[in-house]
Chains A and B, each alone.
Chain A
Amino acid sequence: MNNSRKTLEFKFERTIPAPLGEVFDGWLDPKIPGNPWNAADKLMLNPKVDGFFYWTFKGTPHYGRFTEVERPGRIQHTWVSPNTLGEESMVTVTFKKQGEETLMTLVHSDLPDHELARGHEKGWNYFLRIFREQFGAGSRKKYRWDDAHPSATK
């Protein structure tokens, strides 16, 4: 194994408005929108230690093996896809009680850094969505062409 390759790690956090056990179960239930299995075109899922998964998303195959399944606090599995160049990356999801809600943290680590995994055309829409949401949520007065250029509409 080449240990000198450059790898990336991404960390995401969300506060989910539901109790710990429900969120944990929801993450492993393919019927619940938002978990990776729900997006699958084809799915084989065995969420127990040393259980495997295979799923395709928009025609792209993903494989993995569960290494930790500790209800209700932690799930860890490997993650292999063309975007990892066929190498094993690691996904760790932890769940922590936060009052009546659940703090969910997902870390995707050991991702090889290479151009294939960089965003392409789809990234444009993603970025625009973030941008739109940011502006949409702002309190600034919405700019109107007619307000700024009254003579142009007369």
Chain B
Amino acid sequence: MDQLTDILIAISHPSRRAIIGQLANGPARFLDVAKPFDTALNAVTKHLKMLERAGLIERQKQGREVFISFRGEPLRQVAGWVHVYERFWNERLDQFEQYFTDKKKKEKKEKK
């Protein structure tokens, strides 16, 4: 499999995205990473292996402890995979929807 496929598979699972979200705030030890999950430690290990294979995390030994940290660089490949018009229309439509949402809120407020 190419690295882009590994990355897309890695970020396709909500638990792995949650791990990335956690590690984006700073490196953590394995047990800290596993703490918020109800699943077995073995399952967390598997998720970490997939993230490591995609290059999205790395392990660093500090004294007797091993810290796991997030690496954002591979996500650039995903960004490059996004088509210019996919991005353009999503941004435009988000803004268009937001305009009407704000307008509706304002009208409700004025009625009160």
The answer to whether A145 and B89 touch across the interface, beta carbons within 8 angstroms, is: no
* A and B contact pairs by CB, cutoff 8 A, 10 listed: A17-B100, A18-B100, A23-B100, A33-B95, A33-B98, A34-B95, A111-B83, A145-B25, A148-B29, A148-B32
Complex Cα distance, B90 from A106, in Å, reads: 10
Task: Verify if A26 is at the interface (C-beta below 8 Å from B).
Answer: yes
Q: What residues of B have a CB within 8 angstroms of the CB of A32 in the complex?
A: 96, 99
0 or 1 for each of A26-44: is its CB under 8 Å from B? (1 = yes): 1100001111100100000
A134 at the interface (CB under 8 A from B): yes
List of A residues within 8 angstroms of B82 by Cβ: 118-119, 123, 126-127
Question: Considering only CB atoms and an 8 Å cut-off, how many residues of chain B contact the other chain?
Answer: 40
Task: Determine the chain B residues whose CB is within 8 A of the CB of A39 once the complex forms.
Answer: 92
How many A-B pairs with Cβ below 8 Å?
121
Residues of chain B contacted by A111 (CB below 8 angstroms) = 83, 85
Instruction: Tell me the complex Cα distance, A34–B101, Å.
Output: 12
Task: Mark out the residues of chain B between 73 and 90 whose CB falls within 8 Å of any chain A CB in the assembled complex.
Answer: 75-76, 78-87, 89-90
Asked if residues B100 and A26 are in contact (CB atoms below 8 Å), the reply is yes
List residues of chain A with CB under 8 Å of any chain B CB. Answer: 8, 10, 12, 14-18, 22-23, 26-27, 32-36, 39, 83, 104, 106, 108, 111, 117-120, 122-124, 126-128, 131, 134-135, 138, 140-145, 148
Are B81 and A118 in contact, CB atoms less than 8 angstroms apart?
A: yes
Chain A residues near B90 (CB, 8 Å)? 12, 126
Decide: A119 near B84, CB < 8 A? Known: A33-B96, A34-B93, A34-B96: yes
B103 near A18: Cβ-Cβ < 8 Å: yes
Q: Which residue of the partner chain B has the closest CB to A118?
A: B80
